[in-house]
């Protein structure tokens, strides 16, 4: 039953259009960013590969389902699906320092040495997937259940940065 998760994982790692959506009315993902400001038909060259891809998958309940791609230049490409903080596609700009800080935190927790999958075998759990691309290659970690506390803290930070960038941070 976990075989269907292999396709979304592969898509995250390759940085292709994100996980399949549950709604058929969702616009198709293209190589063009969602218009957030004035756009023209001439596109500026953009960094091709995300340095960090963070995603959460759906469950049988109300788990948020989205993918966020962080680029070194601070660009954040977001695709929200079911129960996501924002539904639809968005491209927003973060300070590049935010992306660098996230990468430093991943490095400090030893992300590249983590296991590829943390699961206890439950079939109805959502997954959290993080893929980081460096000059040495791409490392992807999927967590269904468990995982190191330091990784869970990084996931919380990533969720926060995505929601903050989208303007939907919940009041505490």
Tally the C-alpha atoms within 13 A of residue 145's C-alpha that lie toward its C-beta. 8
The domain total for the chain is 1
Q: Does any domain span residue 139?
A: yes
How confident is the model over 22-42, as a mean pLDDT?
Answer: 36
Q: Which whole number is the average pLDDT over 118-143?
A: 92
- The answer to whether position 43 is within a domain reads no
pLDDT on residue 30: 36
Query: Does 133 map to a domain?
Result: yes
pTM for the whole structure: 0.71
Determine the Cα–Cα distance for residues 18 and 68; give it in Å rounded to an integer: 9
pLDDT digit string, tens, across residues 1-10 = 444 444 444 4
- Classify residue 135: in a domain, yes or no: yes
Q: Is-contact 142 131, C-beta < 8 A?
A: no
In this prediction, residues 45-57 reach a mean pLDDT of 86
Is residue 37 assigned to a domain? no
137 within some domain = yes
pLDDT at residue 32 greater than cutoff 90? no
Structural domain that includes position 140: 3-16+48-166
- What would the mean pLDDT of 146-166 be, rounded to a whole number? 95
Q: Which of 28-37, 80-89, 119-128 has the highest mean pLDDT?
A: 80-89
Residue 95 lies in a domain: yes
User: Does pLDDT of 49 surpass 80?
Assistant: yes
**CATH number where 64 lies:** 3.30.1560
> Which residue(s) pair with 75 in the sheet?
93
Q: How many CB atoms lie within 10 A of CB 26?
A: 16
| Token pair 């960090």 in the structure block, residue | 52
User: Does 101 fall in a domain?
Assistant: yes
Average pLDDT, the chain: 79
């Amino acid at each position: 039953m976990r075989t269907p998760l292999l396709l979304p994982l592969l898509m995250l790692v390759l940085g292709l259009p994100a996980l399949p959506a549950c709604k058929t009315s969702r616009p198709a993902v293209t190589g063009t960013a969602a218009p957030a400001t004035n756009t023209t038909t001439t596109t500026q060259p953009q960094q091709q590969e995300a340095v960090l891809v963070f995603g959460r998958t759906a469950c049988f309940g109300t788990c948020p389902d989205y993918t966020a791609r962080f680029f070194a230049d601070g660009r954040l490409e977001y695709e929200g699906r079911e129960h996501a903080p924002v539904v639809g596609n968005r491209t927003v700009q973060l300070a590049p320092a935010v992306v660098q800080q996230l990468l430093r935190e991943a490095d400090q927790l030893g992300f590249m040495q983590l296991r590829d999958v943390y699961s206890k075998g439950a079939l109805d759990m959502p997954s959290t997937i993080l893929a980081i691309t460096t000059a040495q290659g791409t490392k992807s970690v999927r967590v269904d259940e468990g995982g190191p506390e330091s990784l869970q803290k990084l996931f919380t930070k990533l969720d926060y940065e995505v929601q903050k960038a989208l303007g939907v941070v919940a009041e505490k």
